[in-house]
Amino acid sequence: MAEPSLVAAGEEPEERAIEAALRPKNLDDFVGQHRVRKQLSLVLQASRMRGRTADHVLFSGPPGLGKTTLAMIVAAEMNAPLRLSSGPAIQHAGDLAAILSSLSEGEVLFLDEIHRMSRPAEEMLYMAMEDFRVDIVVGKGAGATAIPLELPPFTLVGATTRAGLLPGPLRDRFGFTGHLEFYSVPELELVLRRSAGLLDLKVNSAGFAEIAGRSRGTPRIANRLLRRVRDWALVHGIEQIDSRAASAALDMYEVDKKGLDRLDRAVLEALITKFGGGPVGLSTLAIAVGEETETVETVAEPFLVREGLLGRTPRGRIAMAPAWTHLGYAIPSGVFAQEQLDLFDSGEEAAGAGEWAPEGQ
Ligand SMILES: Nc1ncnc2c1ncn2[C@@H]1O[C@H](COP(=O)(O)OP(=O)(O)O)[C@@H](O)[C@H]1O
Ligand SMILES: [Mg+2]
């Protein structure tokens, strides 16, 4: 999935290698997400004590909050090998059968973007998750026969940015669901301190605070911003990164004080200038900023909603008052008419229904 401009810089091999190096390897090094961490730790500890393969686990939440990292931690904590694949890579049930039939006992299978798996593969997965068995269909038409194949017990770890898109039967087969939340600024400071240590960078407290505050509540972005600040400091011959250096560097990369990046601002800008603040449908909004609907919905929106900049109503998206001010527009009178505010109040639940499913649902 396409990510905002600055984030896409991480596609370079060197950047990807650094990202891998910065991944916490065990639960103790994993910052924040206390509830998920505590619950997961209990699930894993209990299975270790029973000498059993851990229950299937699902992680949901916006990109960059630690889903892949947690999947790797599950395997590490269970001392089990890890197999990586993803929904988009599994287009046919046969693709999945090939993976499942080659799993070893106790192996952890990580399926990223699990909501994008094809229907037939999904149905095969139900049976594999529940009964550790698949039916391999041989032949076509009337002569087709299903050959049952026993699978060793394994742990499926699914990750999705769209928990609401997972069919109920699939969601129900996970023994544990962890929904990841955006990180607080102090938590991001911890992530940055750890990373700076690993990268051997000198940053003072104010420098960490400045970077953390602009990281959109997202560790992946915090780490990327840290590397951009590092580059800036290197070029400017600065030894110790303070808030002024961090601030100057991030201004240059067009990451603003609230942490909004180019896509976030484009979405709000379009809402305000092209649609008078909304409400406008998500797909129309996505076209206006030249992005995929899914990117706008899963990458930009959750953070903008959390920051109170964007509202979801049954009739579409609206720019909230702070969005106008943040982008330097005067809030036109009449835009926040009572009718629109009512819409927002009643709308949040309806629009969010099935979107970010609460834990255990
Ligand atoms: N809780 C955390 N503590 C420390 N670093 C984290 C944490 N969560 C994520 N990261 C860092 O952010 C990066 C992105 O995390 P990742 O697990 O790939 O996110 P996701 O799979 O949810 O998109 C990783 O390289 C990791 O270093
Ligand atoms: Mg991931």
Q: Is residue 1, in this structure, part of any structural domain at all?
A: no
In this structure, the residue with its CA closest to atom 23 of ligand 1 is 64
Q: Tell me the C-alpha distance between 342 and 197, whole Å.
A: 49
Per-residue pLDDT at 341: 55
Burial of residue 103 (number of CB atoms within 10 Å: 0-12, 13-18, 19+): buried
Q: What is the DSSP letter of 203?
A: B
Q: How sure is the predictor about 342, in pLDDT bands with cuts at 50, 70 and 90?
A: low
- The CATH number of the domain holding residue 69 is 3.40.50.300
| pLDDT tens column, 8-17 | 444 567 777 8
Q: Which residue is listed with tokens 């990180």? A: 183
Identify whether residues 29 and 103 lie together within a single domain.
yes
118-129 pLDDT, tens digit per residue, is 999 999 999 999
Could you count the other beta carbons within 10 Å of the beta carbon of residue 211? 32
User: Any idea which residues carry the catalytic annotation?
Assistant: 67-68, 112, 161, 220
Q: Are residues 191 and 168 in the same domain?
A: no
The mean pLDDT of 193-203, rounded to a whole number, is 95
| For residues 51-66, average pLDDT | 95
CA distance 47 to 44: 5
Find out whether 198 and 25 touch, Cβ atoms under 8 Å.
no
Residues with CB under 6 A from ligand 1: 19, 22-24, 30-33, 63-69, 159, 191, 219-220, 223
- Model confidence at 6, pLDDT cuts 50, 70, 90, reads very low
Q: 238 and 214 in one domain?
A: yes
CA 111 to ligand 2 center in whole angstroms: 10
Q: What is the pLDDT of residue 213?
A: 96
Which residues lie below 8 Å from residue 275, measured CB to CB, with a gap of 6+? 284, 285, 288
Structure tokens given for 243 = 């808030």
Residue 77 lies in a domain: yes
The closest-lying atom of ligand 1 relative to the alpha carbon of residue 194 is 4
pLDDT(361) > 50:
no
What pLDDT does 350 receive? 39
**pTM, rounded to two decimals:** 0.86
What does the pLDDT read at residue 349?
40
Same domain as 166, residue 47? yes
Are 112 and 239 in the same domain?
Answer: no
Please determine, for residue 230, whether its predicted confidence score (pLDDT) is greater than 90. yes
Ligand that comes closest to the CA of residue 65: 1
Q: What does the pLDDT look like over 116-166, one tens digit per residue?
A: 999 999 999 999 999 999 988 888 888 888 889 999 999 999 999 988 888
**Domain co-membership, 237 together with 162:** no
Which of 220, 226, 227 has the most ligand 1 atoms within 8 A of CB, as the residue to mutate? 220
Of all protein residues, whose CA lies closest to atom 12 belonging to ligand 1? 220
Measured in Å, residue 253 CA sits from the centre of ligand 2 at 24
- Ligand 2 centroid to residue 208 C-alpha, Å: 24
| CA dist., res. 322 & res. 312, Å (int) | 15
The CATH number linked to 223 is 1.10.8.60
Q: Is there a single domain that holds both residue 144 and residue 275?
A: no
Q: How confident is the model at residue 343 (pLDDT cuts 50, 70, 90)?
A: low
CB atoms within 10 A of CB 291: 19
Domain range for 238 = 185-252
Report pLDDT digits (tens) over 87-123.
999 988 899 999 999 999 999 999 999 999 999 999 9
23 C-alpha to center of ligand 2: Å?
11
Q: Return all residues near 111 (Cβ < 8 A) that are at least 6 apart.
A: 85, 86, 87, 90, 117, 156, 157, 158, 159
Domain total in the chain: 3
Q: Are residues 168 and 212 in the same domain?
A: no
